Structure 1
Amino acid sequence: MQRVCFLLKVRQDRLGEYRKRHEHVWAEMREALSAAGWHNYSLFLREDGLLVGYLETPDFAAAQEAMARTEVNARWQAEMAGFFEDLDGRGPDEAMRPLTEVFHLA
């Protein structure tokens, strides 16, 4: 199982709304993530907008590709794109770049 951690930056002026949106993530989005192999998926948000994502999956590239093929993900990404800084024309899901794991205590 791959452990994946990534960083994104939420716009300071949209932190409250970003938190609210994640209080009620669409059921179909949650189902699609699970079906695509996203397990133990968590998002952590710091007050300055730093967003840390963590998930476990057998194959991150395959999990990303599976989500990219879903209609619900396209709708979610379109709605969420305006919350982030420095996407350079990409969607939030395309801007995720996994960090390199340097230690794990099993």
Structure 2
Amino acid sequence: MIRKASVMHVYPDAYEEYKRRHDELWPEMAEELKNHGAHNYSIFLDEETGSLFAYVEIEDEERWDQMSQTEICRKWWVYMEPLMETNPDHSPVSKNLKDVFYLK
């Protein structure tokens, strides 16, 4: 299993809506994430800064990278765009974090 972490940013007035949309994650989005090898996917919010910390375990980098090319993922990005910082392709602005410690 490969552990991945990243940070993103949600707008201050969108915290509740961001959580609501993830609480009601589309079943087809959840299925596609799993089809692309995602396990133990969590997102945490720092309410003081709007920073989101995402953690996911994946089976394979190449397979995971293909997720961004799926129709459902691109549809999700457009759905989430009003709530957070995004790139021109509607994907969330995201910075990958370097793994520096792990206690099994």
TM-score range, shorter chain: 0.7 to 0.9
Report how many residues are paired: 103
Aligned to 2:101: 103
Cα separation, partners in 2 of 1:54 and 1:22, compared to 1, 3 Å: same
Identity rate of aligned residues, in percent?
35
* Aligned counterparts of 1:8 and 1:90: Cα–Cα separation in 2: 15
Aligned to 2:88: 89
- What amino acid is the match of 1:34? K
Relative to its length, the structure with more strand (as a share) is 2
| Superposed structure 1 runs of 4+ greater than 3 Å apart | none
Aligned to 1:40: 40
Task: String of CA shifts for 1:40-60, please: whole Å, max 9, x gaps.
Answer: 111111213110100011223
**2:97 counterpart SS class:** coil
Task: String of CA shifts for 1:9-57, please: whole Å, max 9, x gaps.
Answer: 1000111111111111000000000001111111111213110100011
Aligned to 1:63: 64
- What amino acid is the match of 1:35? N
Contact 1:4 1:60 in 2 (8 A): no
- What amino acid is the match of 1:98? N
Task: String of CA shifts for 1:76-105, please: whole Å, max 9, x gaps.
Answer: 1111112113x3424335x33320011111
Structure 2: runs of 5 or more not aligned:
none
Alpha-carbon offset, residue 64 of structure 1: 2.3
TM-score of the aligned structures, taking structure 1 as reference length: 0.86
* Aligned counterparts of 1:60 and 1:50: Cα–Cα separation in 2: 24
**1:43 counterpart SS class:** strand
* Aligned counterparts of 1:70 and 1:90: Cα–Cα separation in 2: 13
Structure 1: runs of 5 or more not aligned:
none
